[in-house]
Amino acid sequence: MSKSINIALIGNPNTGKTSIFNALTGLSQKVGNYPGVTVEKKEGICKLDRINKGYIIDLPGTYSLNASSIDESIVINLLLNKKNKDYPDVAVLIADVENLKRNLLLFTQLKDLGIPTLLVINMSDLMSPKGISLNIPLLEEKFETKIALVSARNNEGLDELKKLIINYRRLPTKPLISLKSINKTYFNNLEKTFPDQQLYKLWLVITQDINYSNIERNNVSITSGLKTESPSSLKRIQQKETIKRYQHINNILKQGLKVDYKKAKDFRNRLDRVLIHNFWGYIIFFAILMIIFQSIFSWSTIPMDFIDGSFVYLSNILIEKLAPGVFTDLLTEGIIPGLGGIAIFIPQIAFLFLFLSILEETGYMSRVVFLMDRGLRRFGLSGKSVVPIISGTACAIPAILATRNIENWKERLITILVTPFMTCSARLPVYSILIALVIPVGSVLGFSFKGLALMLLYLSGFIMALLSSFLYSKILKMKFKSYFVVEMPNYKFPLIKNIGLTVWEKTKSFVTEAGKIILAISILLWILASFGPGREFNEAENIVKQTYPSLNQIELETKINSFKLENSYVGKMGKLIEPIISPLGYDWKIGIALISSFAAREVFVGTLATIYNVQNDKVETIKNKMASEIRKDGKPVFNFATGVSLMLFYAFALQCMSTVAVVKKETNTWKWPAIQFFSMTLIAYLISLLSYQILS
């Protein structure tokens, strides 16, 4: 019978924790959210041997157990609550071989909690190039634990780590630091007041009040009688504790760690001087973005055409094989075209996350954050706003949640309000299909017009975010500016396995989440487009025959389908808003797509695919359907002016109900999401109106 061991992977950011998690779990992992918060939760299964398996949870990166953010509080909540189903049997502390001193602070805290704790020294392959040598037996003796030297990059040391995890019960749980040596009187009183509670656990619960107020008390009762010390006094005790821990760590490392500084290479400093240079840093970053956008278009063309054609082929096969009827129509006109509208963009989404994960894995993304901090301050943004702004290119929702690390409320509010201007991955399908339709083939200086158009759309969102933040800072009368501290990780070659897993998880998450919405909306749209009120819809065939008696059979069927669609429920909705959107170059069908894409921006393409399939008997690819759509005056609907107008509308409008919901949750009022929604919609409308009127 197999035995399951609860394993918590804990460590500072940038220690290679995720690499070890991926190496242990592979594809046997899932990503969700912690209950009550939208912080990412990664968990997986690892086969340790023929009998034992490990249930591994990859906890958010933290520098210590003195929580100062929502991510760090999650770690504390788990480690203080033995009733939690994820409470670890063994904690595995991941340390970076080049930053042992800093990483070991968290290790000593874990040990003092009484949790069996293993020390994993990662990136051991860097020891020789960096001139680092370790006395492992001495370190194990002094830190009272077992140590695994691991290189996730070279897949070394993982078998030894698994053996140590299996034998976790043999690990000592004796505290390394005596709290009474820090303040004898205070901790003696604490122990007398709660004789049945673990002393360090009590201390952690108390100190969370001065660090992060949302800590859960779990089973530790803290009475008001214990609050004999002021917050400033508690802070001083906490500072003495940190000093005491580092003194203990330093004394051990003097004996167990040797560094030959002459042998250590200075490659990182030389590269940093170029990549975060005041001038060349921006040029290099801009060039990297250009390459990314060019590649997204050029590399994805073949798989996109294949996917598009496959859905058309599937619809045609089902039309031939299935009996005519409502179910067949729903399947071939609603569900399949709707799903095809998202599946066609899987290659581009995958390439986007591929490039983002490479930039993150190599350590370059941290340099980008540092580089952008200099410019953002001029526009009233906090230095800490850089992370949400940059991560908004993937999705605005986690980006807005990342603003929780910004202490100043006004700076945080401004960041929340402007982050949705950043072009998220959900906009990519809309941009892609419209660029393919209206941007001509050609290039300048080796860069294609289509890639340049995509780059300009990303830049326009970023520029609008800066302008809006500057305006908000004046309205909110910003005076205080917080300082920004970011850790620069070492440069390293990206691990193919890590990149592959990241692309797989992110793409799968994007497709499944969007797929659910699109499937539901496709079915709803098909129903609304296939049925309608009144005589015009129910007697459409007779009305069309009387109005156009000279049409042949094919022309007659097309005209009947178009007339029925126009008088269906969805047609009535589109006609209702057509007077408002017609100055932008949009017809009532595009209006329907605008309304439905409020559920999710990427629904835009699937909506049009469903509407055009209901309208026409001929099954075609999405691009062909959109390209062949004609106005009453005989001109194409998706011409250059309309295409640009639509792209600009989606660049600036808040077409995402999930973002609105998250902003409401984070600001705890409907006031700011309402201001955000209406202001962004107004900006989008005015810019789209101006662009269409000029270009047409």
- Write the CATH number for 58: 3.40.50.300
Share of the chain above pLDDT 90, in %: 17
Say which residue the tokens 């055009």 belong to.
Answer: 612
Q: Are residues 467 and 525 in the same domain?
A: no
Measured distance CA(261)–CA(264) in Å, rounded: 5
Q: Which amino acid, one-letter code, is at 250?
A: N
- pLDDT band with cut points at 50, 70 and 90 for residue 93: very high
- Of 397, 213, 362, give the one whose Cα is nearest residue 288: 362
What does the pLDDT read at residue 481? Answer: 52
Same domain for 413 and 338, yes or no, is: yes
How much is the pLDDT for 65? 85
Distances from the Cα of 439 to the Cαs of 106, 434, 520, 639, 684, in angstroms?
Answer: 54, 8, 31, 9, 20
User: Is there a single domain that holds both residue 443 and residue 586?
Assistant: no
Distance CA 573, CA 70 (A): 43
Spatial contact of 199 and 174, defined as CB atoms under 8 Å apart: no
Mean per-residue pLDDT, 438-459? 84
**What dihedral do alpha carbons 162, 164, 168, 169 form, nearest 10°?**
130
Residue 593 has pLDDT above 60, yes or no: yes
Place of tokens 């001109």: 635
Q: Both 194 and 150 in a single domain? A: no
> What is d(CA 313, CA 290) in angstroms, rounded to the nearest whole number?
35
pLDDT (mean) for 668-687: 91
Report the distance separating Cα 93 and Cα 121, nearest Å: 8
pLDDT band at 479 (very low <50, low <70, confident <90, very high): low
CB distance 608 to 589 below 8 Å: yes
116 has a pLDDT exceeding 90? yes
- Which residues are paired to 56 by β-bridges? 7, 44
Task: Report the alpha-carbon distance of residue 575 to residue 418 in Å, rounded.
Answer: 32
Where is the domain boundary, 142, 170, 198? Answer: 170
Same domain for 144 and 215? no
Q: What is the DSSP string of 338-396?
A: HHHHHHTTHHHHHHHHHHHHHHHHHTHHHHHHHHHHHHHGGGT--GGGHHHHHHTTT-H
Give the C-alpha separation, 578 to 591, whole Å: 7
pLDDT digits (tens, 9 = 90+) for 304-321: 788 878 887 888 888 888
341 and 436, same domain (yes or no): yes
pLDDT for res 267: 66
Q: Say yes or no: 579 and 670 in one domain.
A: yes
Type of residue numbered 640: F
What does the pLDDT look like over 270-288, one tens digit per residue? 788 888 888 888 888 888 8
Residue 239 lies in a domain: yes
Same domain, 158 and 217: no
- Find, among 15, 178, 201, the residue nearest to 92 by Cα: 15
Has residue 555 got a pLDDT over 60?
A: yes
Same domain, 520 and 468: no
Q: How many domains does the chain have?
A: 4
Residue-wise DSSP of 146-165: -EEE-BTTTTBSHHHHHHHH
Instruction: Return the minimum-mean-pLDDT range out of 8-17, 81-90, 110-119, 599-608.
Output: 599-608
How many residues belong to the chain?
A: 696
pLDDT reported for residue 109: 92
Residue 125 domain flag: yes
Statement to judge: residues 379 and 418 lie in one domain: yes
Tell whether 568 and 431 lie within a shared domain: no
Q: Which of 566, 587, 581 is nearest to 629 (CA)?
A: 587
Same domain, yes or no: 137 and 210: no
**249, part of any domain:** no
- CA dist 363 and 275 (Å) reads 11
| Domain span at 232 | 185-243
